[in-house]
Amino acid sequence: MSAFEADLPLPQWVEANILYVRGYMVINGRPCTILKKSTLDGKLHFVARDLFTGQKLEATLAPDTSVEIPPVIRLELALIEIEDGMLHLADTDGSYKDDVRLPDNEIGRKIREFYEAETAVNVTVVAVNGEEAAIAVEKAPLWN
């Protein structure tokens, strides 16, 4: 477990009928963001996206089925540099993180474009059960 996850809460279990779109759930052992929730023949059907691979997963469950909600930590960190495919990031409290891989997807391309243009950006990093990934990037707010 990384220092980033030092205060990680324990997983929670709830009934499937409590889950909501844009919330989190575990499907096939993978932490996911719920994209769709529908009812079919008295059962709940979920379409979700793996937080780390982007793969779409589906589950059909009885409303009273106990479902794991993964303990997700989400932080906005300032991009300092990119070196050897790794992001060097800093938090507002001065803590430094250099073990998050530059993603090989559209988010990674945007991060690199901003970095090469010397644009200040914040990178959203999520961590679940020892797995971490950069999932979003946006220009840093300008301070007066």
Report domain extents, the chain: 3-69, 73-139
Region 3-69: CATH code:
2.30.30.30
pLDDT tens for 42-89 read: 999 999 999 998 899 999 999 999 999 999 999 999 999 999 999 999
Region 73-139: CATH code:
2.40.50.140
How much is the pLDDT for 144? 44
pTM of this structure: 0.79
Residue 99, pLDDT > 90, answer yes
Domains 3-69 and 73-139 share a fold: no
pLDDT-derived band at 143 (thresholds 50, 70, 90) equals low
pLDDT tens for 1-51 read: 444 545 667 889 999 999 999 999 999 999 999 999 999 899 999 999 999
User: Dihedral through CA 135, CA 73, CA 91, CA 108, nearest 10?
Assistant: -10
CB atoms within 10 A of CB 74: 12
